[in-house]
Amino acid sequence: MTAQYDVICQHIAQWEQHFVEPDVFETTDPQKIAEHIDSFCQAELGAAVEEYLFYEASIGAVCGVRLMDQRRIVVKVHHARPLAFLQAMVQVQHYLLAHGYPCPKPLLAPRPLAQGIATTEVLMDEGVYHEASDPAIRRSMAEMLARLIHFTKTPAAIPGVQPAALDVRLPPGVTWGVPHSKLFDFEATAAGAEWIDEIASHAQTLKLQGAGDLVLGHSDWGVKHFRYVGDRVSVIYDWDSLSLEKEPIIVGHASGYFTYTEYFGGSRAPTDEEAQAFIVEYEAARGKPFTPEEYQTMRAAKLYGLAYGARLEHALNPQEISYPEGSCCARLAQYT
């Protein structure tokens, strides 16, 4: 039986190299986690799990499985997203699929699972990953973002979607939301991060006051979420990163982040030239340039994204005062 859920065992073992906390399953016992997922699949999809294909967990958890009837699906258990958000997300995915956009196909409406809410999708893994250092890949990512926002630029027109459900923007006066992983504790590592927080707070204010139309965008536009068949994007993942946000903020953040991947030995930040090329390619696909005021909003979004990366680095090593070349902290320090 253990071999059946080896991928869960391996992931838990990796967490134990740092620290481990119960996640949405309220346990770190791989067998109990597997039993939760198997019971859910039997109850909601009518088939037991034959094989666990992959598993990752942090604030939430995601698991790929092959069922006894040979369907290959993904079960993602969300902890930080409310039900209304996930219901709207599923509707957006259906809408995009109807327009030929390459996102995974949802199978069910969101359902309770353990201490979270589960979404289920067809497992789409056709194609391969690439690095965004390739100009052709960068261009395709800019074009796909422009295409996404073309479809979602009027969020209220998407059937079954209340745009407010996808509004996850921070209110005025709040600099940071909950970090994306439980590896990062901003409150416990506040000392020494004041300079980062100050830059981020200023950038956040500029974002809130900046120019740009509200659209539905994808706030985690990294190449790690893209698979390609030849030069065609076969699938884009991570749709719980949908966000109602100003278009220049979506694009500005993406331009400073699109090279991020956990494959190929790690990631690097885009150069200034690559970031600007991404924006220019987005504008070309969009069909019109941004205004000077929108560019100001974009720069604030890029700076905030850099500050977030620096804050993550500080949370992992709060005693560090000499920053490695190329790190977010070293790059951000140039703004002080």
Q: CB within 8 A of 3, min separation 6: which ones?
A: none
Tell me, what's the pLDDT at 104? 98
Identify whether the C-beta of residue 299 lies closer than 8 Å to the C-beta of residue 252. Answer: yes
Give this prediction's pTM.
0.92
The vertex-293 CA angle with 289 and 294, nearest 5°, equals: 50
Cα separation, 82 vs 22, in Å, equals 20
Predicted confidence pLDDT, tens digits, the chain (336 residues)? 455 678 888 887 776 544 445 578 888 889 999 999 999 999 999 999 999 999 988 778 999 999 999 999 999 999 889 999 999 999 999 999 999 999 999 999 999 999 999 999 999 999 999 999 999 999 999 999 999 999 999 999 999 999 999 999 999 999 999 888 878 999 999 999 999 999 999 999 999 999 999 999 999 999 999 999 999 999 999 999 999 999 999 999 999 999 999 888 767 889 999 999 999 999 999 999 999 999 999 999 999 999 999 999 999 999 998 899 889 999 999 987
Query: In whole angstroms, how far apart are CA 30 and each of 10, 15, 45, 90, 258?
Result: 9, 12, 22, 28, 33
Residue ranges of domains in the chain, CATH in brackets: 2-122 (3.30.200.20), 135-333 (3.90.1200.10)
CA 158 from centre of chain: 21
Helical spans, DSSP H, in 230-271: 247-255
User: Do β-strands 111-113 and 116-122 pair in parallel, antiparallel, or remain unpaired?
Assistant: antiparallel
